[in-house]
Structure 1
Amino acid sequence: MKNATWTMSVLAFLVILSFILVGFAIGQEFFWLAGFFFLLGFALMGYGLKLKRQTQA
């Protein structure tokens, strides 16, 4: 597998993990932590989309 494929796979795993942690933080009633993981998930997703756009160009 190419290096870019591994990078995108790890990035996708981190995005999914951050959204899972949002649910865990809400269950533990740490709403500030849920907000942090929510924003982190979208930031990682945006970075992945940026990398994909650069790769396709």
Structure 2
Amino acid sequence: MLLGHALMENRNGLVVGSRLLLANGTAEWAAALEMVGELPGAHRVTIGADKGYDAPVFV
């Protein structure tokens, strides 16, 4: 089973990144780290996520 993931820009709701990964229990975390790691620039960014990402092993 595959899961689709999207990275959204907060101000206008535009999709700025996407991934399609196998559902394995940690696919959401892996996709988030990959997409955030590919953001351009070296400046600080603010990331928001739903409650499913609020786990000590991920944060």
Aligning the two structures, in what range does the TM-score lie when normalised by the shorter sequence?
A: 0.3 to 0.5
* Structure ranking higher on relative contact order (CA contacts 8 Å, 6+ apart): 1
In the superposition, the TM-score normalised over structure 1's length comes to 0.35
Structure whose alpha-carbon radius of gyration is higher: 1
Name the one with the larger helix percent. 1
Name the one with the larger strand percent. 2
